Structure formats: C-alpha cells, structure tokens
Structure 1
Amino acid sequence: MTSSSADRTNAARPEPSSLPAPSQLRGIVLLIVSTIVFAVADVITKRLASTLPPPEVAWMRYVTFALAVVPAALARGGSKIFRSRRPGLQVLRGLGMVGSSLIFIESLPYLPVADATAIFFVSPILIMALSVLFLGETVGWRRWMAAALGFIGVMIVVRPGTGSFQAAAVLPLVSAASWAVGAVVTRKIAGDQALTTLAYSSLVGGGVLTLFLPFQWVTPDLPEIGLGLCMGILFAIGHWLVVMAYRHGNASMIAPFAYVQLVWAGLLGYAVFGSVPDPWTVTGAGIIALSGLYTAYRERLRALERKFSG
C-alpha cells in the first residue's frame, strides 16, 4: 500500500525557505526509497494473501509493526509517549488506517499490484475533498478540476460496465477513502508527536485485527511466517522513511515523487507474478498521477502565497 500521507502530515517540517537544496534532495531520495520498500511489501502481501486470510495477513503486518514501533516509542519517551491530547481522535485515526490496510489486502488476491496501487493513489484527492467538508478548507476550481480528472483516471482503470470490470477493483477505492478519513483526522491531532501517532496506529490496528483471528485463522508454515515478518519490517521501514523524508523536505516539493511507486508496482508485479499492466491501466494510472501532481503544484503555490502575504 502507498506511503502514509497521514504520517507526512504529522511530521514536523520547516518552511520551504529554511530548507537548503541538499536537504530537499535528501527528502526526495528518502521518499523514492520508501516507494520501493512499500512496493516490495505489497508484493509480499499479495503472495501471503493468496494462501492466508487477509485479516490474518493484516494482523501479521500490524503485530510486526507494533513490535518495531512500540519499543522505540518507549525508549524515546517512556510511557508518556502514549499521552495524546486527543486520544479519541487517535483511536479513530487508527481505525481508518487499519480499515484501509485490511480492505486493500482483500483486493490483492484478485487484482494485479499495479492496478490496486493505481486506484489507491486517488487518496490525495479524497483527502482534499474531505478537508473541505470537515476542516473547512477552501479549494479553488483548478484543484476541483484536477480531482475530477483523477476520478476519470480511476474509472479508466476500473472500467465499470465493461467485460473487463472486476468487483474487487472497488476495494482499493474504498481503502483509499478509509485512508483519507484517517489522514484528515491526523490534521486535527497535529499537536501530538509523530511517534505517538505511529504507536497508537500499531496498537489500535493490532488490537482490532486480533478480534478477527478466531474466525479466520490458517496456521502459517515457516516460509509464510518468514514472509510475514519481512512484510511487517518493510512497512515499518517504509513509514520511517516517509517521516524522515518529510522532515528533510517540504511536503509540496517532494510529495509528487510518491507516484514513482506506480512504476515499481508494475515492474515487481511483472517480475514476481508475470502480470503486465494493460494499456487502460497505464493510461488511467498516468491520469491519476497527473491529477495528483497538479494538486501538489497548486498546494505549493498556495503555500508560497501564504508565506509572502504573511
């Protein structure tokens, strides 16, 4: 699954003018590396989801993630790291994120990784729309046009009403919507430390998924356990890279490089599963990426306007 836009929002970052070019470049490199890590983790997830129930795969991811994050949180700040100014919103954010992960994993046995990733990348557009509804943000007509273009791209990938349509293609879209809810909630709890947010996410996700285990449990063999550990560790590394990337670079500058993940998803999907994105998927993914890039460009212009008008 794509890198965490919610974690980006929660990472403290300086203004563009205070960031030297080498720091911006470091942020871009870190984000690109995170896209490779996430793409590899998604391929492993698809492999596991073909033999294990998706809730169990998601549980393996979250348990490993928690084992990586919680000790780091305790070492850094002790038990006070779990003291949130808005604990209820932290739990709500965690539910949005775990719901997104579970639904995305549910889609992987039926869809190529590239298709699922392309559809999921509509999440920045959904975040923008939800920010208008729940945060009172103002969005100009240009960004609404970019959002409409992004949805056209999704429809090209999904192709509803045609013989190529798969009902499972709706799942990454629902996953993106759940992720967007979590990301918008994150903006309401920006006063908490990033590590606090990650700790809450891992604990809430792990707790919720543990409730599913008695109903859908298949005992994994040793190779599956090994893959599960690799998957969880990669996701933990990927989230850490995203947080570090946004501490080194301004969000509007480096966010567009997240779309590089579409390339890795296609290449790894072909290398591991032999799945080649069809022309419709490539076209739709390109339109989604263009929509996101333009949205990021407009965000950068708005940030500069606020800077010079203030």
Structure 2
Amino acid sequence: MNANGGSSLRLPQSELTFGLAMMFISVIFSPIIDIFSKLAAATVPPAEVTAARFILQALFALPIMAMRGQWGVWSWRRSGVHAIRAGVLTLSMVSFVTTLQVMEVADAIAIFFVEPIILTVLSSIFLKETIGWRRYTACAVGFFGAMLIIQPSFQEVGFVALLPVVTAFCIAVYVMITRVVSHSEDASSMQFQTGIWGVVFSLILLALGRATGIAILGSVVPDPTATLYLLGVGVSAAITGILTVYAYRAAPASMLAPLQYFEIVSATIFGWLVFDNFPDAIKWLGILIIIGSGLYILWRERRFASKPVSDTSETAFTP
C-alpha cells in the first residue's frame, strides 16, 4: 500500500511504450477531427456537428461490439459513468466547434492546450498519481511553446477565445474518467456507450436550439459536401477515441499528458495544407519547443519506466 492508501505496481516497459505509441498516433491524427469540423461548421451549426460526430461514433463501434459479443457489458451503473463522459465531451465539442467558426484550427488548439496542465493537476488530486517537478516543468515549457504558436488576440475574437479553455477543462475531466474505466472495459464498448449518450445530449441541445433560436444550437439540412465533412468528423473521432482508450489503459494520464502538445504540430501542418495558413517564424519556434518538450518526456519516462507508478483505478474513482 502507498501513502495514499492505493496499491502500487510496476508497469512493464513494453506496456508503457505501447501506451505512449497509441497516444502519439492519436494526437498526430486528432486535428483531422477539427479540420472536418471547421469545414462543416461553415454551413452546419456546432450542435449539429457534435450530434453527427456521436451518431457516427456509435455506429462505428456497433459492428465491432456485435462481432465480439459485448452486449453484456452494458449496465446502468457503468452507463452513468459514460453519461458523464459524454456530457462533458458534448459541452467540449460544442464549445470548440463554435470557436473554429471564427478562429484558425492551430490557434484554437493552442489555447486548448492548457488541458494537459489541468489534467496533470486533476490526476494528482483525484487519481493520486505521483507528479514530479520535471513533469510539471515539461508541461509548462510545452504551454509556453503553445503560446508562441497562437499569439492570441482577444481584441479580434472577444469572449470566443475563452471557449477553448472551457473545452480544455471538460476534456481533462473526460480523460481522467477514461483513465479509470479503461482498466475494466473494452475500448469499442466505451466508444459505443459514449456515442449513445452523446447523441442523447446533442439531441437535447438541438431541441433547445429549436425552442430558443440560439444559432449555435440550431439545425439545418446539410448539402452533400457538408455531409461528407460530417462523415469525416465522425469516423476520425471514432478512430482516435479508440486509440486514446488503449493509451490510457497502458500508461498513467500524467505521463501521457505532455505528448498531447504534438497535436499543435499536426494541427499546424493540416491547417497549412487545407486552409493555406503557413506558420511564421515565431510559430515555428513554438513548434520546436513543443517537440523538444515531448521528446524529453519520452526519453525520461522510458529511462524511469521501472519505477513504481500509483494505480488507484479501484480506490480513487470507482465506476
């Protein structure tokens, strides 16, 4: 037993490496969700983009669950946990898609990257994960690099620039819960249940939008091009979501958090390729800082992978 009352265990290096690899792949391709979301949001309200994502996410996981005979994993007790995950994820996506309507993808993601810092603090408080000063420093350095990329201007977009912070907090909560339940549930099952609950919450928001006339909660009939964009949102979200679940099953959240900064690198590249937003010298400096921070975390965690890592999946938050 450790000082916090949870058990301790030694995670195999192969398991940690697998978790790091899954997270790296996930964050590299994650901005594809945002690229498709921004394209769709030009003609489709954010709440409808969110609903499309969850519907397709659930449909994507449905055949996988059927083939693996996992219908028995559904229970009201666990569904409550997935409802919470879906609720914060729904709020996060509506907030972020609203941001993408007026901001570039890389800029919005850069503001969002207060999330690893929030996650690190929440993991320390609620999951009792051991956080050293080097890891905190790496997060801070990565955040500094993110700020060099974004060069935020609240004068241009106003309060909308704060919405990625709302997204960041929601995702930190989502990831923390995912870290816990991923030990005892299958990745496709988790994606399916989150998708189902996400559809429920999204439909509620769409109904609210119809009743109140709030633009971001409205609904339209998408044209064929927008439909393809919505399909891209759902498929890419389902794939990256499953990769993330496997990552958090294999490695601690506080270890994986700094790797998420690589998402800004890929977001910048995709933004350049799709929207012709080529980074200036300051943004390239920020990218180099982020890469350096991430590589340092990879090196350090591989070197000290044999050290005990607190596992409080059964004591800190029981689903």
Q: TM-score, normalised by structure 1?
A: 0.76
1:245-299 CA-partner distances (Å, limit 9, x unpaired)? 778x867998876554433322221222122234444444544554455455555
1:120-176 CA-partner distances (Å, limit 9, x unpaired)? 344222211111222233322233333333443444455567767754332223212
Distance 2:24 2:138 in 1: 23
| Bigger shift: residues 142-151 or 160-169 | 160-169
User: Of residues 157, 162, 169 in structure 1, which corresponds to 2:161?
Assistant: 169
Cα deviation for residue 31 of structure 1 reads 5.7
The answer on whether the counterparts of 2:149 and 2:287 sit within 8 Å (CA) in structure 1 is: yes
SS of the aligned residue for 1:220 comes to: coil
The answer on whether the counterparts of 1:85 and 1:192 sit within 8 Å (CA) in structure 2 is: no
Where does 1:65-214 land on structure 2 (aligned, <5 Å)? 65-83=57-75, 86-157=78-149, 159=151, 167-189=159-181, 190-214=183-207
Cα deviation for residue 75 of structure 1 reads 3.3
Distance 2:73 2:65 in 1: 6
SS of the aligned residue for 2:279 comes to: coil
User: Of residues 299, 303, 306 in structure 2, which corresponds to 1:304?
Assistant: 306
The answer on whether the counterparts of 1:95 and 1:205 sit within 8 Å (CA) in structure 2 is: yes
CA RMSD of superposed structures (Å) = 3.6
Cα deviation for residue 82 of structure 1 reads 1.6
The answer on whether the counterparts of 1:35 and 1:258 sit within 8 Å (CA) in structure 2 is: yes
Long gaps (5+) in structure 1: 1-13
Name the structure 2 match of 1:265.
267
Distance 2:292 2:163 in 1: 22
Give aligned-pair identity as a percent.
35
How many corresponding residue pairs? Answer: 289
AA aligned opposite 1:194: A
SS of the aligned residue for 2:30 comes to: helix
Does residue 227 (structure 1) correspond to residue 219 (structure 2)? The answer is no
Cα deviation for residue 63 of structure 1 reads 0.8
Distance 1:32 1:139 in 2: 20
SS of the aligned residue for 1:304 comes to: coil
The answer on whether the counterparts of 2:112 and 2:168 sit within 8 Å (CA) in structure 1 is: yes
Long gaps (5+) in structure 2: 1-9, 210-217, 310-319
CA pair 36-162 structure 1, distance change in 2 beyond 3 A? closer
Name the structure 1 match of 2:314.
none
The answer on whether the counterparts of 1:122 and 1:150 sit within 8 Å (CA) in structure 2 is: no
Q: TM-score, normalised by structure 2?
A: 0.74
Distance 1:102 1:211 in 2: 13
| Bigger shift: residues 270-279 or 164-173 | 164-173
The answer on whether the counterparts of 1:115 and 1:281 sit within 8 Å (CA) in structure 2 is: no
Distance 2:193 2:279 in 1: 36
CA pair 107-238 structure 1, distance change in 2 beyond 3 A? same
Cα deviation for residue 208 of structure 1 reads 0.4
The answer on whether the counterparts of 1:159 and 1:165 sit within 8 Å (CA) in structure 2 is: no
The answer on whether the counterparts of 2:92 and 2:166 sit within 8 Å (CA) in structure 1 is: yes
